[in-house]
Each structure stands twice: as C-alpha cells, then as structure tokens.
Amino acid sequence: MPKRHSLWSLALAFSLCLTLALPADAQERQRIERASDMPRFTYPVRGSLESLVRDEKAFAAFAAQVRRDIESVLARYDIADRAMQRQLHGTLLQLDVLDGRDADALARIETLRALQDKPADKLLAGLQARAVVDARKAVGNDTSPEYRAEVRRRIAEALQAMPYDVVANDVKEAKMGAELMGEALALGRVRDVLQPVVDQSGSLSSELAPALVSSRYSLVTRLPLKQTLVESYAAYLAEHKVEKPDIWAARGVDLPPGKGHAPVTVAVWDSGVDAALFGRQAMRDRAGRPLFIAFDKYGHPSRSELAPIPAPLRSKLPSMLARSKGFSDLQSNIDSPEASEVKQYLSTLKPEAYKAAIEEIILTGIYEHGTHVAGIALAGNPHARLLPVRIEFSHTLLPDPCPSRAQAERDARAALASIEFIKRQRARVVNMSWGGSVTDVESDLEKCGIGKTPEERKALARDYFKIARDALAKGFAGAPDILWITAAGNSNEDATFAESLPADIVLPNLLAVGAVDRAGDEASFTSYGPTVKVHANGYQVESFVPGGQRIAISGTSMAAPQVANLAAKLLSVHPRLKPAEVIELIVSTAEKTPDGRRTLIHPARAMQAAQARLAR
C-alpha cells in the first residue's frame, strides 16, 4: 500500500495542472471532507484508447461526458480541499482550451488565482493556457510560426512581471517538463496503464478518465509548443541567474565527536540503506553483519539490504544512477552531460520502450531513496547510530501485488514486526519518508480489474486501508518512547483530506514534515494540513546514493530526515527528553513565516533550548 514520496514521478510527467473554483452557495451543497467521499462515475470505452485520444470527433464525445460529470460535482458539492477543486477544474480548463472555449478558459484562470495558496502558484496559475488562448486569438490560428512566436512573447511578458525569487523553482521545473516532452511520454500511460484496464472491464472510472484529457492536451496543445516553451523558460532563467540565499547554513548545528553526548539510534524505515557507507555508525549484529530488518513488496521477510535489482538490469546500474543525476541537474537548470542524456532519452523514446524505460527509472529512485534519506538523517552527528528498516515499493506501472485482504493483512503484520524490531533495538527516532492513501488502493483495484463497480472498489479500498492504518496507529501508540517522523507527501494537497498515511495520523509522538527550499520558500510539491507542524529543506538536497556518489534530490522525503536529524541531536544532548518534549522544542523554536503558511525549523535555537532545559 505505501507509495514512495519523491519528485521523480513529477519529473516524468510534469505539467502545470491549472484549476479554479466556480462560485456557488455552499449551504445548498453537500460537504465533502475526505477525498474518498468524492462521487464516482464510469465511462464505457471500447477499442484503442490511443485512437480515442488522437481522433477529435471520438474524443469530443468522451470529453463531453467527463465535462458534464465534473460540472455536476462542482455544482452539487462543497469540497473541503482546494487541491481537489484544483484537480477538477484543471481538467475542465484543459477541455476549455481543447474545445476552443476561450472565454471560459480565461475566466477559469482568473478565478484560479483566488483558489491558490502558494505564492508561486498564485502568480503562475494558467500561464501557458492564457498564452495559448491569447496567441491564437491574436494570430487567428494555433499552427503557424507566428502563433508560436506570439506564445513565446506572451509567456516572456508575463514572467518579466514576476519576482524571480518567488517563481524561480517553478519555472525551472516547467522548463524541465517541457524539455522531457515527447509523444511517448504523452501517450505512454494511455497505452501501458489505461488500455489494460479498458481491455479487462470495458470502462474507465472518473479517477482514471482525466488522464485521457491530459494526454490529448499534451499531444495537441503542449507538444507542438515544446521548443517554444523551452526557449521561453530558458530565456527568463538566463536573464536572472540569481542563486537563492541559503538560510540553512546559519541555522545548522553539528555535534563534535568524543565524549559528552549520548548515542542515539535512528531507524530509517525506507527502501533500504547501503550501510557500508556509514561505517561504524551502522549498527551490526554479534557476527559483525549489518543489522536490519526487511520485507519484500508481498509482505514476506527479505534478506536483501537494498531494493533488489533484477539480473538483466544489474549491468546497467551505473548508467541508471547517472540518469538520476541527470534528472537532478535538469531540476536545478544545470547543463550537464547527464542532463542532456536524460532529455534526449525521454523526449525521443519509442512507444514500445515506454514501459521498460519508466519502470527502470522508478526502480532506480527506489534503489537509492533509503540511502539518500539516511545520509540526511545522520549528517553532522557522529553519535547517531543507523538502524535500517526496509520496506519494498513496487516499481511497475501496473500494481504488483494487486490489493487484497490477504495482502493487506500481510503488510500489517510486516509493519508491526518492523515496529517491534525498532523497539527491541531501542531506537529513539524513526524516519518514514513514504505514504499511501485510500484512493491509491482504490485506483490499484481498478487497474487490477477487481470490483465490478466503483462503489464496490470504494468499499474494498476502505477495508484494506483500515487494516493498514489501524496497524500503524496501534504500533506507533504502542511505542510512546519513540519519536516517529513522517514526510507530508508530494501531492500539493491536504494530507488529512487525502487520508495520506502515516502523515494524517494524530499522536503525541508523531510529527509530519513539509518541504521548503534553501531560502525557506514553500516547495511546489509539498503537501500540507493540520498534522504538518514544521517545514525543512526538501528541495535539491544533496546526499549519498548506494555506492557513495552524492546527488541532489527533492521531496518531502528529504525534508523529514532533516527533522529526524535535529531530533537525534537534541536527544544526544538531552537523552531524557520524551518524544512530546522533542516535538515541543522543535516546534516552539521554529520560525513562523509572515504568510503563516510555513514553520521553518531552526536547529541552532532548538539546541540552545535543549541545553538550557538540561541545565535547569
């Protein structure tokens, strides 16, 4: 059930999801407090989905049904979460542009700005769509060189009015998305994920159907503008080339080696750790072997320290890791050989190679994820002791394994066994940079052809999800002397509305962490909500990957271990602190930003407060 929190999925299919809310009387509409309570619809589809996406007439009939249902939901329901509203209106905006309903599109873009929360989103909302609509009105078509030049001019004009320090990261990500665009990426999910669903059931749910809209929008609207978009964003970035200030160096604190500090065991519950990189800090058993516990993706015990690499791919591992560096460089707008290779590789990918290529990239991210997180969690603390706890994530486009009650129960037993192992080894801090939601389970059920109706899948998903949630909540509550730290998620949504585990669990010994960048500005991807009490640097954070190379990766996965690192240092200085006291020290010494949206950790202040408390 868990889904890894990382940015690679965003890098592979990055697009500006443009949304807005239409006014209505909330008192006359039914309130929706959870994502799983959204209405569900079914769309009968036969034959080739690729043909449907390519055929304007056939797509128009399908799109009309999707539009009708989304508009009915927005009219009838008061949706608590803005991210869900943005998702629905994002699909409508794409349909508006595709249908030539330019006035509707412009109205949606304007309303969108009032719905956005993050400063960069408020500025950039609808940038591409507005440029497309305005350019084709000015030129009279959307195919000529004059049209493309007008799109570029309008994007450049809009960007010039925006503060670079606010939008820089998002513009870099938009440039990366444009550079990676290709027909295989635009249609790959249609061919290799959605088509098998239709072949099994003859229909798509309202959860999966919007992907067809996005695919046609990419194919018809964005892909012909690929070079225009790349040039527009590249010109803006080249003109500024300003490095954002790093606020974290002045806030950081390293502990000296030697006596005077207590050892603290930090468990990294993740995809596996290359323990050899951490020398004596990695815990070992009586025989001198790395001490860890591991379960495979089926919930069975495993002896593998790292995510297993299939035999046919082992010889490719160096190039797979180099490709990870290429993604990282692209996100940072660094022109490197690795970045160039990734752009060439993905933008020219053949349709038949899509599935293998994307699964290989996902597998690479999983393989390196736990080691990267561990490097962050242990940095600057020679007294930290590393305890790897491995959970395995599936890297396949279609679910493997498929959800079932038996699988949910195996996963729950594995989670409880991992927690008992953590308790036996007397870990004080546990980092969990992973998560999953009830709607993730429901989506996997549909992809596996399980459940005859959306209502049946909804009920099954709730049942299986509850097994996982109850096990984790019970395990965390049963270990009150351990501080559990989790990533908020990378979906730019309310983790509580989405019911994202473990970030939505409320316990006195659990802390959820959101992500900001080096300057303390909110990351575009970070999720949020009432359980997210603090924020830490999760944007292009450098750390180890297996084998010892260091690369920068983004995600709340990288923010959470920053807080785990701080917690371990506080416990090294003041070993008698309880988890609630550690949380209080971290939160009370953090800095609230003027907009009230971010609470930035301040390790130096937290350490001073812990030392003052110890001296009393």
pLDDT reading at 53 higher than 80: yes
Amino acid symbol at 309: I
The distance of Cα 320 from the centroid of its chain, to the nearest Å, equals 21
Query: What pLDDT was estimated at residue 2?
Result: 54
Contact, 123 vs 167, CB < 8 A?
yes
In the prediction, which pLDDT does 356 show?
Answer: 96
Q: Give mean pLDDT, residues 333-360.
A: 96
Q: Provide the token pair at 121.
A: 């989103």
pLDDT at 155 over 70: yes
Q: What is the mean pLDDT of residues 395-411?
A: 98
- Domain ranges within the chain, ordered by starting residue: 3-240, 256-561
- Distance CA(9)–CA(292), nearest Å, equals 28
Interatomic CA distance for residues 428 and 111, integer angstroms: 47
Is residue 28 pLDDT above 90, yes or no?
no
In one-letter notation, the amino acid at residue 247 is I
Choose among 131, 169, 187: nearest CA to 13. Answer: 187
For position 304, what pLDDT does the model report? 96
CATH number for the domain running over 256-561 = 3.40.50
Burial class (CB in 10 A: 0-12, 13-18, 19+), 195: middle
Q: Specify which residues 290 forms β-bridges with.
A: 284
Q: Specify the range with the lowest mean pLDDT, choosing from 21-25, 227-231, 253-257.
A: 21-25
* Helix H or strand E encompassing 442: helix 438-447
Section 290-307 average pLDDT: 97
Mean per-residue pLDDT for 229-254?
94
What is the pLDDT, as a whole number, of residue 1? 56
**Cα 511 from Cα 583, distance rounded (Å):** 7
pLDDT value for 11? 35
Residue 272: pLDDT above 80? Answer: yes
77-79 and 264-270 as β-strands: parallel, antiparallel, unpaired? unpaired
Nearest to 179 by CA among 346, 302, 307: 346
Which residue in this structure is represented by tokens 């999800």? 465
DSSP code string of 408-447:
HHHHHHHHHHHHHHHHHTT-SEEEE-EEB-HHHHHHHHHH
Residue 420, both tokens: 């008992």
Residue percentage of the chain with pLDDT more than 70: 96
Report yes or no: 252 and 376 within 8 Å, Cβ to Cβ: no
Q: Measured between alpha carbons, how far apart are the two ends of the chain, in Å?
A: 46
Burial of 507 (0-12, 13-18, 19+ CB in 10 A): middle
Tokens 């070992």 correspond to what residue?
Answer: 284
Rg (CA), the chain: 24
Long-range contacts of residues 439-444, Cβ cutoff 8 Å, at least 24 apart: 439/35, 439/36, 439/207, 439/498, 439/499, 440/1, 440/3, 441/1, 441/403, 441/465, 442/36, 442/207, 443/207, 443/208, 444/399, 444/402, 444/403
Residue with structure tokens 């350490």?
607
pLDDT at 51 over 60: yes
> What is the amino acid identity at position 106?
L
Residue 492: closest CA among 12, 19, 2:
19
Q: What is the mean pLDDT of residues 133-150?
A: 98
| Mean pLDDT taken over the chain | 94
Residues 6+ positions from 309 with CB-CB distance below 8 Å: 317, 363, 367
Q: Per-residue pLDDT tens for 559-601? A: 999 999 999 999 999 999 999 999 999 999 999 999 888 999 9
Query: Among candidates 62, 69, 53, 50, which has minimal Cα distance to 454?
Result: 69
Give the C-alpha separation, 389 to 432, whole Å.
10
Q: Are 446 and 456 in contact (CB under 8 A)?
A: no
Q: How far apart are CA 563 and CA 486, in angstroms?
A: 9
CB 355 within 8 A of CB 192: yes
DSSP strands (E only) in 305-428: 384-391
| Mean pLDDT value of segment 45-74 | 97
Fill in the amino acid letter for 284: R
How far apart, in whole angstroms, are the C-alpha atoms of residue 578 and residue 601? Answer: 19
* pLDDT (0 to 100) of residue 513: 98
The C-alpha atoms of residue 80 and residue 504 are separated, in whole angstroms, by: 16
Tokens of 117: 């929360």
For the record, the structure tokens of 261 come out as 């500090």
What's the full length of the chain, in residues?
616
Strand runs labelled E in 181-220: 203-205
User: Among residues 304, 372, 290, 373, which one has the least CA distance to residue 547?
Assistant: 372
pLDDT at position 14 is: 33
pLDDT at 231 over 50: yes
**CB-side exposure of 547: number of CA atoms within 13 Å?**
12
Task: Please give the average per-residue pLDDT across 34-63, as a whole number.
Answer: 97
Q: CA 403 to CA 449: how far, in whole Å?
A: 10
Can you say whether the dihedral through the CA atoms of 432, 437, 440, 444 is positive or negative?
A: positive
Chain center to CA of 346: 20
**In the prediction, which pLDDT does 615 show?**
87
CB 536 within 8 A of CB 489: no
d(CA 46, CA 250): 60
Q: What is the pLDDT of residue 15?
A: 33
Residue of 379, 375, 386 lying closest to 544 (CA atoms): 375
Phi first, then psi: what are they for 382, rounded to 5°? -65, -10
Residue 170 has pLDDT above 80, yes or no: yes
